[in-house]
Amino acid sequence: MTTRKATAVWNGTLKEGNGVMKVQSGFIEGPFTFASRFEEGKGTNPEELIGAAQAGCFSMFLSALLSNNGYTPTSVETTAAVHLGRDETGPVITLIELDTTAAVPGLEEAAYQEFVAKAKANCPISRALAATETVIKSAVLNG
């Protein structure tokens, strides 16, 4: 299959330093600082990028499940809320909440919820993040 790369460079101390993260394709590149990660400072952070990866992977996997089972999704939109907390070791991702909305003509609610559960359990990013609790906060089916 494929191998994807991302890089990060950090300059300086933890609190006064700064860095830049970017992905191999060049489509995502952003600065990050202590404030952008642990406070409300300007810039991105690793947790935000994990959220984007989780939301993208989940949406694509759900679309694939639906398509492979005879449904034609018009759209799947997912938001991932990544919660950063602390444990005895230090900062840790404590929870990822997914909110997803899909437009899938002809799909019944019960079947939709089953597909959502399968996508959460089996998309590659969910599997990579299996040590972190991930919950479906909402799963809305539109038409």
Distance CA 93, CA 111 (A): 30
Strand order in the sheet with 75-86: 75-86, 91-103, 134-142
pLDDT-based confidence at residue 69 (cuts at 50, 70, 90): very high
Residues 79 and 62 in one domain: yes
pLDDT, mean over the chain: 95
Distance CA 39, CA 110 (A): 40
Residues 67 and 130 in one domain: yes
| Residue 30: inside a domain | yes
Express each pLDDT in 79-125 by its tens digit.
999 999 999 999 999 999 999 999 999 999 999 999 999 999 999 99
Range of the domain at 17: 6-38
Q: Are the C-beta atoms of 62 and 54 separated by less than 8 Å?
A: no
Residues 90 and 27 in one domain: no
* Radius of gyration (C-alpha) of the chain in whole angstroms: 17
SS3 assignment, position 18? strand
> What b/e sequence results for 117-128 when a residue is b if at least 16 CB atoms lie within 10 Å of its CB, and e otherwise?
eebbeebebbee
pTM for the model stands at 0.91
Q: How many folded domains does the chain comprise?
A: 2
